[in-house]
Amino acid sequence: MFHAGLPRFTGKTVEASSTSFAELVNKADHPVIVDFYANWCGPCKMLGPLLEKSVAANPKVTLVKLDVDEAVELAAKYQIAALPTVAAFNKGEVVDQFVGMRNGPQVETFVKKHAELA
């Protein structure tokens, strides 16, 4: 019998809030890339589209965007000290991350590496 558990957003970009983060990231049954960003952050605005494009091309992962100004407690929990910070989660745990701007090929390599864990 087919059983649909939590909704899968693989290959998609989803905006998270403090209340939806746990379900989208910690309870996911596949790798999740989290973009910790802020609206005032210039490099975040440049990195976001690169992440979205790479995740769309690697449908085994989901991109979850979290505005740290709206989720201060989560930013503190994951020790986000600089923006942008991108973290890869697998089974609810941070398994990899980078801080700062990256170019397209570097972002693609990061996303592809974690898509292969699915």
Please report, for residues 1, 86, 89, 106, 111, the alpha-carbon distance to residue 24 in angstroms, rounded to integers and kept in the order given. Answer: 25, 15, 11, 25, 17
Axis crossing angle, helix 104-115 with helix 42-57, rounded to the nearest 10: 50
Encoded amino acid at 111, one letter = V
What residues act catalytically?
A: 41, 44
Q: What are the sequence ranges of the domains in the chain?
A: 13-115
pLDDT of residue 5: 45
Q: What is the pLDDT of residues 49-105, one digit of tens each?
A: 999 999 999 999 999 999 999 999 999 999 999 999 999 999 999 999 999 999 999
Strand positions, DSSP E, the chain: 13-16, 32-37, 62-67, 85-90, 93-99
Q: Which CATH architecture does the domain made up of 13-115 adopt?
A: 3-Layer(aba) Sandwich (3.40)
pTM of this structure: 0.91
Cα–Cα distance for residue pair 27/16, rounded to 1 Å: 13
